[in-house]
Amino acid sequence: MLLAALLCCSSAAWAERLSLSAALDAAKLYDPRYQAALRDFEASQELGVQGKAALGPDVSLAASGAQNQLGQTVGASSRTINYQSASLVVQLRQPIYNAELRARSREGEARSRQGAAGLAEQKAQFLLRLMEAYANILLADELLATASAESESLDERLRAARRLRARGEGTVTEELEASSRLAIASARLLEARDGRQDAIGRLQMIVGPSISIEPKSLDSQLKPVHLYPVMVSEWEALALAHNPSIEVRRHALQAAREVLDRIGAARQPRIDLLVSVSKADSDSINTVNQSSLQKSVGVQLNMPLFDNGRSDSQVRQAVAAAGTAQAQLDYTRDSVLAELRQNYRALINLEQKIKAYAHALESAVMQIEATQKSVKGGIRVTLDVLNAQAQRFSIQQELTKTRFDYFKAWFQLRAAAGILDEPDIAMIDQRLK
């Protein structure tokens, strides 16, 4: 239904065209930019895992073994002792109070949420790219059909002018005018064919170069949809609540604040619980051929005292970074709302332009018929028919482009509001035939 608002009456066939849902499935597996976004998301989720893990126990194992030789001289006598030594230590460290690790954990969670919002942002852009590339095929079909019809019409007009001249009823000027316009129309037809091939190539960059799916086309009976929600303020509320670009910047600001807290917390004391078990065999000259097993439980305190201004510098740096994140959030919010309002106004205006062009097209068709009758009656000349036909095809192209602009503005509006998703693709595909 949405797609018909922009691209009704597609008449050219493309044997290699994908269905929209199949294009989406193929693009999710192939599109390099979307694959990169998925990998970035997976990497960001590990930051939250790492932050939580830092608050848990840390268990380490240390083992050593050596062959030792000791030479001793006591008075006039000397001796050499050969012995083996070995040690094994298992230690558990559990943070009891560590404000820096807690801030680091919160920072990791914020970065993970930022990564999830980033994936949502990239997915919305991915859907927009796919929809635009797919619609460009339909737009190219429309323009190619219009250019072909214009070329055929002018070719027929040229043959008619030659027949009239051969009977002495036409003029050289009319024949030359028809020939000139046919040459221009032929050039437009070549341009339309090139544009169609470019559109196919751009879609293949997203879905892959070798996909074969049953072709689909548009239902020419579908009507434009009504804008919902109706008020621009409702769309703005949706954007502030759901737009992924705003969410990315919001979580980036939260992460920057956690960095500031982490740096400040590094000056606070750290208290750890230490539990260790150690086993040693001949670990010194005084314990040759002796074994020991030691178990200990204790608390360790670490308190930073002086770092020559390094922490103060890091605090200033973190404050500046938080200010940058706040400014970026403000800019992103303003940009999103400005784009949303622009697309909202464009939709309203484009819907009116579609109606105006459709009415103008009907009038242009009737004008051609009336002009042709006037030519037969001797009131008008062939040049008047050519002008009327040129106006008709010009209006047809403007109508096609306006429908495409409507389509683009509609999906950009939904993307700005943060509600563009795969069900929109499926809904459109259900209305393709």
User: Tell me: the pLDDT tens digits for 58-98?
Assistant: 999 999 999 888 887 777 788 888 888 899 999 999 999 99
Whether 73 maps to a domain, the answer reads no
Provide the β-strand partners of residue 63: 88
The crossing angle, in degrees rounded to 10, of helices 382-416 and 310-376 is 150
Does 118 score more than 70 pLDDT?
yes
In the chain, the percentage of residues whose pLDDT exceeds 70 is 89
CB burial of residue 389 (10 Å; 0-12, 13-18, 19+):
buried
Whether 176 maps to a domain, the answer reads yes
Whether 258 maps to a domain, the answer reads yes
Whether 216 maps to a domain, the answer reads yes
What's the mean pLDDT in 150-167? 78
- Which range (154-163, 355-364, 373-382) has the least confidence? 373-382
Whether 196 maps to a domain, the answer reads yes
CB burial of residue 51 (10 Å; 0-12, 13-18, 19+):
buried
3-state secondary structure string across 121-170 = HHHHHHHHHHHHHHHHHHHHHHHHHHHHHHHHHHHHHHHHHHHHHHCCCC
Report the 10 Å Cβ neighbour count for 80. 8
Does 125 score more than 70 pLDDT?
yes
Residue 423, preceding peptide bond in cis (omega within 30° of 0): no
Q: pLDDT confidence of 11, banded at 50, 70, 90?
A: very low
Whether 249 maps to a domain, the answer reads yes
What's the mean pLDDT in 155-162? 79
Which of 120, 134, 115, 117 shows the shortest CA–CA distance to 27?
A: 134
Give me the CATH number covering residue 324: 1.20.1600.10
What's the mean pLDDT in 188-197? 85
What is residue 154's predicted lDDT score, i.e. its pLDDT? 78
In the chain, the percentage of residues whose pLDDT exceeds 90 is 39
Whether 7 maps to a domain, the answer reads yes
Does 433 score more than 50 pLDDT?
yes
Tell me if 239 sits within 8 A of 336, measured CB to CB: yes
Which of 380, 356, 359 shows the shortest CA–CA distance to 369?
A: 380
Does 1 score more than 60 pLDDT?
no
Structure confidence by residue, pLDDT tens digits, 292-329: 899 999 999 999 888 888 888 999 999 999 999 999 99
What lies within 8 Å, CB to CB, of 399 at 6+ separation is 354, 357, 358, 360, 361
Q: What is the residue range of 109's domain? A: 2-63+86-430
Whether 80 maps to a domain, the answer reads no
Amino acid occupying residue 222: L
Whole-angstrom distance, CA of residue 243 vs CA of residue 416: 6
The total of structural domains in the chain comes to 1
Between 46 and 153, where is the model more confident? 46
Lookup: tokens for 76 = 């006039």
What is residue 218's predicted lDDT score, i.e. its pLDDT? 53
What is residue 251's predicted lDDT score, i.e. its pLDDT? 95
Structure confidence by residue, pLDDT tens digits, 214-225: 445 555 444 566
What lies within 8 Å, CB to CB, of 376 at 6+ separation is none
